[in-house]
């Protein structure tokens, strides 16, 4: 179990445009069961007794955010960058006077509206006082094929393979160091990969399929299906 003195903060990068959705709106503002996706995402953290405060990183000129979130419930950081890496790094820099080196930061994708307070608690309790941190993830259950020119070139053993989800939870100081050392935004697709590049091994905590990332239009319907369930 974690130390009673531990503090947990949520950081949600929401400066992307979600081009693959093919929508006029950035995907984090698309309606999910009548509410903006970002609001659904934030609600899980607001309902969690573990989370001291939630921060959302948006682009400086974002015209949609004011109507997407509950008034006063979260803090907006208008320092989003051209990549997820840059947005998280900028957000952490703004919080340098607010968070301590040992505070935990839970970085979560804005386009994962299926997160629940229960999953947040599961992650925090399973990571506990791990010296590195950890992330929600799902073990791969399907057969995995490696493709070449549109055909199956090989079957990849799935033993030990996991699909990363978020939140990804690391101490503030370690996360800052890992992202500062990352130089290629294309290579660092999540925070855990930056931490791994420093030689650390984050703990994998089994998540849930409802915590899927909305990337394509069909994903939106699946997310609504999960959110509509008890």
| Among the ranges given (72-76, 148-152, 182-186), the one the predictor scored with the smallest mean pLDDT | 182-186
Residue 23, pLDDT score: 64
**pLDDT of residue 21 exceeding 70:** no
The model's pLDDT over 36-56, given as tens digits with 9 standing for 90+, comes to 999 999 999 999 999 999 999
**pLDDT of residue 90 exceeding 80:** yes
pTM for this one? 0.94
**pLDDT of residue 24 exceeding 90:** no
| Among the ranges given (16-30, 83-97, 124-138), the one the predictor scored with the smallest mean pLDDT | 16-30
| Among the ranges given (9-18, 172-181, 216-225), the one the predictor scored with the smallest mean pLDDT | 9-18
- Contact criterion met (CB below 8 Å) for 217 and 21: yes
Residue 67, pLDDT score: 87
Cα–Cα distance for residue pair 99/64, rounded to 1 Å: 27
Cis bond upstream, residue 167 (ω within 30)? yes
| Among the ranges given (66-70, 94-98, 116-120, 133-137), the one the predictor scored with the smallest mean pLDDT | 66-70
The model's pLDDT over 173-192, given as tens digits with 9 standing for 90+, comes to 999 999 999 988 888 889 99
Residue 95, pLDDT score: 98
Q: Which domains does the chain have, with CATH numbers?
A: 8-228 (3.90.550.10)
**pLDDT of residue 141 exceeding 80:** yes
**pLDDT of residue 5 exceeding 90:** no
Nearest Cα to Cα of residue 162 among 135, 188, 123, 130 = 135
- Contact criterion met (CB below 8 Å) for 92 and 132: no
Residue 215, pLDDT score: 92
Q: What's the whole-number mean pLDDT along residues 109-132?
A: 97
**pLDDT of residue 172 exceeding 90:** yes
Residue 160 gets the label, from left (phi > 0), alpha (psi -120 to 50) or beta, of left
Nearest Cα to Cα of residue 192 among 176, 178, 173 = 178
* Summary mean pLDDT of the chain: 93
**Alpha-carbon Rg of the chain, whole angstroms?**
17
Beta strands in the chain (DSSP E): 8-13, 31-32, 35-36, 51-57, 75-77, 104-107, 133-139, 144-148, 151-156, 162-171, 203-206
């Amino acid at each position: 179990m974690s130390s009673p003195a531990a503090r947990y903060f949520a950081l949600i990068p929401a400066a992307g445009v979600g081009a693959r959705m093919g929508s006029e709106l950035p995907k984090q503002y698309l309606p999910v069961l009548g509410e903006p996706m970002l609001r659904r995402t934030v609600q899980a953290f607001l309902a969690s007794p573990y989370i001291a405060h939630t921060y959302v990183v948006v682009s400086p000129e974002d015209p949609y955010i004011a109507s997407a979130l509950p008034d006063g419930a979260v803090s907006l950081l208008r320092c989003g960058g051209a990549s997820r890496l840059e947005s998280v790094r900028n957000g952490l820099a703004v919080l340098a006077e607010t968070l301590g080196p040992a505070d935990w930061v839970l970085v979560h994708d804005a386009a994962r509206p299926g997160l629940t307070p229960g999953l947040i608690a599961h992650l925090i309790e399973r990571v506990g006082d791990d010296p590195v941190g950890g992330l929600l993830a799902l073990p791969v259950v399907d057969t995995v094929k490696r493709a070449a020119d549109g055909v199956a070139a090989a079957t990849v053993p799935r033993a030990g393979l996991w699909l990363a989800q978020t939140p990804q939870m690391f101490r503030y100081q370690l996360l800052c160091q890992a992202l500062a050392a990352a130089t290629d935004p294309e290579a660092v697709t999540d925070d855990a990969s930056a931490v791994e590049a420093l030689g650390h091994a984050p703990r994998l905590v089994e998540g849930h399929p409802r915590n899927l990332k909305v990337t394509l239009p069909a994903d939106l319907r699946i997310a609504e299906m999960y959110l509509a369930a008890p």
